[in-house]
Structure 1
């Protein structure tokens, strides 16, 4: 019985640690590195419009929307048009899903530089 309690306790602790790690915000350095290495910065800036909206404008527009991550992840992967004007966002089919999730989380956090 004691061994069983120890096993369940270890599983509970491991699960709790996993939940906490999953809820931690994405590192600013990681988000910015992914954006830079995938040419995002060619069309977007952190705080001003270039070809596309700034990352901060995107964060503001999608603030409080529960499906924002999913929507933006699809937009990064598949491209899109019409939300921010007539210039389409190109698709990024070669960008891996982990990088897409990282950059989208960073953008939705307001694209912090630090």
Structure 2
């Protein structure tokens, strides 16, 4: 009985976390470690989200391009330091993250 309650509590916690992450790009970026290398308006290790949004503004394939870069990593797009891939992030979450980055305004 005690084990069942622990498993049920764990399942509820995981479900709630997944739901919050899937709906909030900022939370996904934070929880995925993106904010260790990126910031909204200033370059840290990687480019600022604002610079990324500016680069892709008007590109109809921007979400797909950014999803690919986040998932597989990239090299040479923003300088010499490569970005590692994040292959464990779901496609839905990757799209949410990409849309959030592309919506960055000054």
Normalising by structure 2, report the TM-score: 0.75
Secondary structure, in 3 states, of the residue corresponding to 2:24? helix
Q: How many residues align?
A: 84
- 2: distance between equivalents of 1:111 and 1:74? 22
Corresponding position of 1:64:
58
Q: Is 2:92 the counterpart of 1:98?
A: yes
1:26-52 deviations in whole A, cap 9, x for unaligned?
xxx811101000000011001100000
Corresponding position of 2:8:
none
Which 4+ residue blocks in structure 1 deviate beyond 2 angstroms? none
Corresponding position of 1:26:
none
Of structures 1 and 2, the larger Rg is shown by 1
Corresponding position of 1:73:
67
- 1: distance between equivalents of 2:91 and 2:36? 20
Gaps of 5+ in 2: 1-22
- 1: distance between equivalents of 2:36 and 2:45? 8
Secondary structure, in 3 states, of the residue corresponding to 2:88? coil
Secondary structure, in 3 states, of the residue corresponding to 1:90? coil
Corresponding position of 1:46:
40
Q: Is 2:79 the counterpart of 1:85?
A: yes
